[in-house]
């Protein structure tokens, strides 16, 4: 999940950060990615922007705002700097359990009969979610899993931050980060080389990591069998949530699953298109 972190108490500032500066930044961020930056987030925003102001050899935040208004590459760096990524392996594990026990067997049967399966981790952050998803579905049998992954099976994992996607592709994690991975799955899918813990290439190669703004243009043409989009919509206002959820519904096959975060709710306008089958777990029942 890519989302804004909590703010902290103000400290002495190297650069001035006026109310109008914050309004300009918050408007730009909302227009680009739909994230709300109320006034109480000002210290957080300043703390994240100050290193970029220094890196660009500028004297003020106002100068930086002028720069990102005309420099698309720096504006993207600004968006990256204002997002953080809190995630973990097997976070909200009931979603993975539901998918593995109730949805995955039917998808395996389809694959074995020559059909196609498409999954999407729509806010994948540093990769823990899609790797958990695959490990929990495939289980510890690497031989059987490798055969299945050679069929018409694809996993798309997207995030807005190119920096965090690079970390997801490297798939190197600390001992602490991997502590929630069950031992049988860890034995099968986590490798150690020269003291570095890394996800097995079999899983890494099964996932296509791509940069994507959830509020921008989506290049994907086919529909998905299951979408995970968790713990990102809590930072959007209701119109933005409804718009995104409508697009996610349109991207799902009828019968497909949408999993959202524990504190997120489906928009009332979409209730006729989905059936709730568990905690923040929704099956699409109508086009």
The domain defined by 19-81 folds into Chemotaxis Receptor Methyltransferase Cher; domain 1 (1.10.155)
139 has a pLDDT exceeding 70: yes
The pLDDT > 70 percentage for the chain reads 95
- Per-residue pLDDT at 85: 67
Q: Where in the chain is the domain with CATH 1.10.155.10?
A: 19-81
How far is Cα 166 from Cα 72, in angstroms, rounded to an integer? Answer: 20
The domain defined by 93-284 folds into Rossmann fold (3.40.50)
The tens digit of pLDDT for each residue in 20-40 reads: 999 999 999 999 999 889 999
The tens digit of pLDDT for each residue in 158-170 reads: 999 888 999 999 9
- Per-residue pLDDT at 84: 66
Average pLDDT for the chain: 93
The tens digit of pLDDT for each residue in 148-204 reads: 999 999 999 999 988 899 999 999 999 999 999 999 999 999 999 888 999 999 999
Q: Where in the chain is the domain with CATH 3.40.50.150?
A: 93-284
Stated pTM of the model: 0.87
Mean pLDDT of 254-258: 98
- Per-residue pLDDT at 193: 86
Full strand arrangement of the beta sheet holding 207-211: 207-211, 153-159, 117-121, 224-229, 252-260, 281-284, 274-278
Mean pLDDT of 55-68: 94
How far is Cα 4 from Cα 26, in angstroms, rounded to an integer? Answer: 12
211 has a pLDDT exceeding 60: yes
- Per-residue pLDDT at 132: 98
- Per-residue pLDDT at 148: 96
How far is Cα 117 from Cα 150, in angstroms, rounded to an integer? Answer: 12
- Dihedral sign computed on CA atoms, order 128, 132, 205, 254: negative
Under the banding of pLDDT at 50, 70 and 90, the label for residue 255 is very high
β-strands 224-229, 117-121: how paired?
parallel
- Per-residue pLDDT at 86: 75
120 has a pLDDT exceeding 50: yes
- Per-residue pLDDT at 3: 45
Under the banding of pLDDT at 50, 70 and 90, the label for residue 133 is very high
């Amino acid at each position: 999940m890519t989302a804004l972190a909590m703010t902290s108490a103000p400290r002495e500032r190297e650069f001035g950060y006026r109310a109008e500066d914050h309004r300009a930044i918050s408007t730009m961020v909302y227009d680009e990615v739909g994230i709300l930056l109320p006034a109480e987030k000002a210290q957080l925003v300043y703390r994240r922007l100050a290193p970029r102001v220094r890196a660009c050899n500028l004297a003020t935040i106002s100068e930086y705002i002028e720069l990102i208004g005309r420099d698309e590459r720096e504006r993207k760096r600004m968006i990256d700097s204002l997002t953080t990524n809190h995630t973990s392996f097997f976070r909200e594990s009931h979603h993975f359990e539901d998918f593995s026990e109730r949805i995955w067997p039917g998808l395996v049967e389809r694959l074995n009969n020559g059909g196609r399966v498409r999954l999407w981790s729509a806010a994948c952050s540093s990769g823990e979610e899609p790797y958990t998803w695959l490990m929990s579905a495939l289980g510890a049998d690497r031989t059987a899993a490798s055969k299945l992954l050679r069929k018409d099976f694809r996993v798309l994992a997207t995030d807005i931050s190119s920096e965090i996607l690079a970390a997801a592709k490297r798939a190197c994690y600390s001992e602490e980060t991997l502590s929630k991975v069950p031992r049988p799955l860890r034995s099968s899918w986590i490798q150690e080389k020269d003291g570095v813990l890394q996800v097995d290439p079999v899983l890494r190669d099964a996932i296509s990591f791509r940069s994507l703004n959830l509020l921008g243009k989506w290049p994907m043409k086919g529909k998905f069998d299951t979408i995970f989009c968790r713990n990102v919509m809590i930072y959007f206002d209701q119109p933005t949530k409804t718009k995104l959820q409508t697009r996610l519904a349109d991207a799902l096959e009828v019968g497909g699953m949408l999993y959202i975060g524990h504190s997120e709710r489906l928009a009332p306008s979409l209730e006729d298109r989905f059936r709730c089958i568990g905690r923040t777990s929704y099956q699409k029942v109508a086009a």
